[in-house]
Amino acid sequence: MRHLQQFYIDGEWVDPIGDRRLAVIDPSTQEPIGEVALGDARDADRAVAAARRAFASFAASRIEERVALLHRLLDAYLARYDEMADVIMREIGAPKKLAHAWQAGLGKRHIEETLRTVERFQWQRMKGSTLINHEPVGVAALITPWNWPINQIVCKVAPALAAGCTVVLKPSEVSPMNAVLFAEMVDAVGVPRGVFNLVNGDGPTVGAALSAHPDVDMVSFTGSTRAGVEIAKLAAPTVKRVHQELGGKSANILLDDADFDAAVTAGVNACFSNSGQSCNAPTRMLVPASRHDEAVDIAVRAARQHRVGPADAPGTTMGPVVSDVQFERVQRMIEIGMSEGAALVAGGPGRPEGLARGYYVKPTVFANVNPSMTIAREEIFGPVLAIMPYRDEEEAVAIANDTPYGLAAYVQSKDQERARRVAMRMRAGSVYVNHPAWDPGSPFGGYKQSGNGREYGEWGLEAFLEVKGIVGYGA
């Protein structure tokens, strides 16, 4: 990849001002697969200045021009789709099938959903004699994570460009290669100079500089709640818009009439997907106390069906976690679960047998987990499931909502109406009833410490728009 040690600023690939570099590690092997340049505040300043210069003309462009731009970007994405899947497989350890069908696939689907949204969006409307007009927010800083990297890049960049914003993207330094590839696509389709800018770097330097920058009008951040708090503090003095999708500890309620073979197995697989590194993963499985042991037996069988191994190995269903830092955190949380008295029924500490190199974690299941235990309250971000018994539906809802997070929740029942009633009581931004198909047009974001604002569909577009009322316009 030619541009890994450069930034894309003002329509050109440029060298960084400083000389910091960081190895990009393949988590399947612990070997470096590249080296990325790390920027600093001076690089952030250059990118923001370019975005600011470009804003007035791009904001005034016709929506038809921006739609045509997104169509060209979709074509460019499809032309390099397999390359994108391969890059993500290598830099985050996503199994080949997952990387191709979902990791890369979500980037495509977000561009398509943005195009559908723009076609039906009402940019102007009259309310009495007042004109309601939607206008771009301005310069948007986009700070994205490593776990679903191109998903989070595209679900921000596509609606931001559709809205008429100019952007500065800072992807995770852990998985920067997909972002560089995406920037090459943007460059190839003729995005006007300064409209899209890419600066690689870490959070405390480039992320902090963008969050505090007086010429940035909005920060859209996806990542940990801890980092989200710091970004909000840095953004506060300039009163810029802060849009955040943060952590989660999602409950999966299996009601007593659920098909337990299907529901438990689906819940285990959803928890372990992407090696458990999803903010909306159903990591707390709530089951009736009377069926707890039955659920545990099914969960153990499902966990043992997973084949842990290198991302590119045939048959791998679970790759490594992304880094040594993440590996050590997951190991520590497993040890805490054991020390606090949760029943370890599958997996446990250490690497799976035969995998001495790579950040591999055993698919782990704890049973009889108490709601006060650390593994029931803190986000682990690894393949660790906590099975929790409840007495009745009221207690299930109470346990599910007893969390500082509120990103997602899951409900399983053969009685659709009953599942709907429970779903309405969940304090979460997204509730999934009986493991439905993924919907790119559903709002995504959380209650409480899981963030503020929503992404995807019209909510993702509106996040990058100001609303202006021109009173007397129609008088």
Residues 318, 319, 322: CA angle, nearest 5 degrees: 130
Of the listed 279, 379, 455, 458, which one is catalytic? 279
Short-list 276, 235, 233, 225, CA closest to 386: 276
**Cα distance between residue 471 and residue 164, in whole Å:** 23
Beta strands in 199-334, from DSSP E residues, in sequence order: 218-222, 241-245, 251-254, 284-288
For residue 66, give the H/E element and its range: helix 63-79
What CA–CA distances, in Å, run from 440 to 89, 98, 114, 406? Answer: 22, 17, 9, 19
Alpha-carbon torsion (355, 359, 363, 364), positive or negative:
positive
CA neighbours within 13 Å on the CB side: how many for 256? 12
Among 108, 213, 233, 225, which Cα is nearest to 170's? Answer: 213
Helical residues (DSSP H) of 273-392, grouped into ranges: 292-304, 324-339, 374-377
Pairing of strands 21-26, 31-37: antiparallel
Compute CA distances 140 → 110, 147, 157, 198, 459, whole Å.
Answer: 18, 22, 9, 12, 16
Query: Which position among 91, 184, 245, 455 bears the catalytic label?
Result: 245
CB neighbour list of residue 43: distance below 8 Å, 6 or more residues apart: 7, 9, 16, 17, 18, 199, 201, 206
In the residue annotation, 271 being an active-site residue is answered as no
**279 in catalytic set:** yes
Question: What phi and psi values does residue 19 have, to the nearest 5 degrees?
Answer: -125, 20
The torsion angles phi and psi of 200, rounded to 5 degrees, stand at -85, 150
Measured CA to CA, the distance from residue 114 to residue 157 in angstroms comes to: 10
Residues annotated as catalytic are: 245, 279
